[in-house]
Amino acid sequence: KNGVHNVLEPATFGVPIVIGTEFKKSAKKRPQFWKALIQEARTIYCGEITYSSNWDNYASIDFWEELDYIGISAYFPILNKDKPSVSAVKKAWKGPTNVMRSFAKKKNKKVLFTEYGYLAVARTTYNNWELEKKVHQLNIDEDAQANALEALYDTFYAEDFWAGGFLWKWFPNNQGHEGYIEKDYTPQDKKAEAILKKYFAQ
């Protein structure tokens, strides 16, 4: 009324709002549109705001300065092995971690994983989006998923530039999954659930 916006309060637990997800072409070709959209969002939302870029193009985003976090959908193709050990995955994370650390320092922003997760199948640390297409043909491998998550947490929990992330995914009461929950990204009722409990308890 009278030209005054109602200001939306953030959730009490402070989860930032994601203003867009993986608009690869639009984010690159229309940075002024995104900057204007962020500014407009801030007139009606007083909480933190980020954008979710894919792991392979976050460095090309031209409007991180307008946001509170560098948002990355973190499905990095880390290691192309059936069931790598935790130590092997941690070693493979060193390169991407160093690049993200330097980028975060340059932008003076923390990195937030707007998505991360692993299927409970072999080679889950490499090109998960390709595994999804043939998941019904793959065998269950809870160890591969658990090792991948443990390596991720062990790598990033101590990093000051890392603001945490949103796990993909969790099904309330195990409802809403795509029909292959035993191989899906969720750690529910799998070995990976113990990994979550261990690190989240810290």
pTM for the full model?
A: 0.90
| Interatomic CA distance for residues 71 and 54, integer angstroms | 9
Give the C-alpha separation, 9 to 29, whole Å.
31
Q: In sequence order, which residues have a C-beta less than 8 Å from that of residue 169 and are 6 or more positions away?
A: 117, 184, 185, 186
Q: Is 67:27 a contact under the CB 8 Å cutoff?
A: no
* 16 vs 179, residue with greater confidence: 16
Q: Is the omega angle on the peptide bond into residue 169 within 30 degrees of 0, that is, cis? A: yes
End-to-end CA distance of the chain: 46
What is the rounded CA–CA span in Å between residue 114 and residue 51? 8
> Is the pLDDT assigned to residue 62 strictly greater than 60?
yes
pLDDT at 122 over 90: yes
